[in-house]
Amino acid sequence: MSLILDHVNYIYGEDTPLAVKALDDICLTIPDGQFVGVIGHTGSGKSTLMQHLNGLVKASSGHIYFNGEDIYDRDFDMKKLRSRVGLVFQYPEHQLFEIDVFSDVCFGPKNLGLSKREAELRAYDALRKVGLPDELFYQSPFELSGGQKRRVAIAGVLAMKPDVLILDEPTAGLDPKGRDEILHQIKNLQAETGMTILLVSHSMEDVAEYVERIIVMNKGSVMYDDIPKQVFSHYKELEEVGLAAPQVTYILHELKKRGLDVDINATTIEEAADTVEKALKVSC
């Protein structure tokens, strides 16, 4: 069970004068149960890449294998793929439409052809997983706060019980607490269900804190693909392509430069505090 991309290319407006190469020879393997962060500046091809993974966009050339099956095979069941690979778009709350929260989350599983009872069970389960309080289930989704709406939208995809969950900037526009809550719940979800998660984000701090592997996209190709520490050690190169490292990286580099013996590879506040504390103790 995994996703494999084999030399995937995608060209917008192929065979026209306006052709733009959006994905350039992408080869990736995403094993089961991994929590992967995808970063890249606006227009680097990360959203296009995500849209390939559930077959919304078809590659110009190359192959994508889901659990060993080529998704471009004529007898491959695309509908099944879309129920297995769930995609939460940017600003997913714009897609809420039902009269109450519960019906909105039921919509997906019902469309899979499940019985009303099964759909409702799944909806309930999904809403619990994203941490939405019970008393909001029968409210109109439009009366909720930004963070709550976002959670309902994510629950709508979770209720489809996907094996792979792709989140395209799930925290854009949320306040810091809402950001932490949603990311926490996603992390718990992954630990509980073993679901594969791909998180597209512009926040380096969030990515550093939560994911185990980072894929950096630049100009349609994979620039780095490694654990966060390794990726952020290239912070100069990341800046050149419009990205950055988490702020702690800069702090630690500055301290190191000025003679404090800290470990510059720490990427979270916790790790940074540990290494600074240690450096101070040693020299005292």
- Rounded Cα distance between 265 and 235, Å, is 11
Of the candidates 251, 209, 204, the residue with the CA atom closest to the CA atom of residue 224: 204
- Of 162 and 246, CB closest to other proteins: 246
The contact set with other proteins (CB under 8 A) reads 40-43, 143, 145-147, 172-179, 202, 204-205, 239, 242-244, 246-248, 250-251, 254-255, 258-261, 269-270, 272-273, 276-277, 279-280, 283-284
**What is the closest distance, in whole angstroms, from the C-beta atom of residue 276 to other proteins in the complex?**
6
Q: Distance of CA 95 to CAs 88, 125, 143, 163, Å? A: 10, 20, 14, 22
Report yes or no: 39 and 201 within 8 Å, Cβ to Cβ.
yes
- Of 121 and 172, CB closest to other proteins: 172
- Of 110 and 202, CB closest to other proteins: 202
- Of 90 and 115, CB closest to other proteins: 90
Report yes or no: 55 and 8 within 8 Å, Cβ to Cβ.
no
**What is the closest distance, in whole angstroms, from the C-beta atom of residue 273 to other proteins in the complex?**
4
Of the candidates 178, 193, 241, the residue with the CA atom closest to the CA atom of residue 39: 241
**What is the closest distance, in whole angstroms, from the C-beta atom of residue 34 to other proteins in the complex?**
23
- Rounded Cα distance between 167 and 158, Å, is 11
**What is the closest distance, in whole angstroms, from the C-beta atom of residue 202 to other proteins in the complex?**
5
- Rounded Cα distance between 249 and 209, Å, is 13
- Of 188 and 247, CB closest to other proteins: 247
- Of 78 and 280, CB closest to other proteins: 280
- Of 33 and 43, CB closest to other proteins: 43
Q: Which amino acid is at 240?
A: E
**What is the closest distance, in whole angstroms, from the C-beta atom of residue 63 to other proteins in the complex?**
30
- Rounded Cα distance between 7 and 21, Å, is 14
**What is the closest distance, in whole angstroms, from the C-beta atom of residue 105 to other proteins in the complex?**
21
Name residue, tokens 């680097």: 44
How many residues does this entry show for the chain? 284
- Of 211 and 243, CB closest to other proteins: 243
**What is the closest distance, in whole angstroms, from the C-beta atom of residue 138 to other proteins in the complex?**
14
**What is the closest distance, in whole angstroms, from the C-beta atom of residue 181 to other proteins in the complex?**
9
- Rounded Cα distance between 259 and 243, Å, is 27
- Rounded Cα distance between 94 and 142, Å, is 10
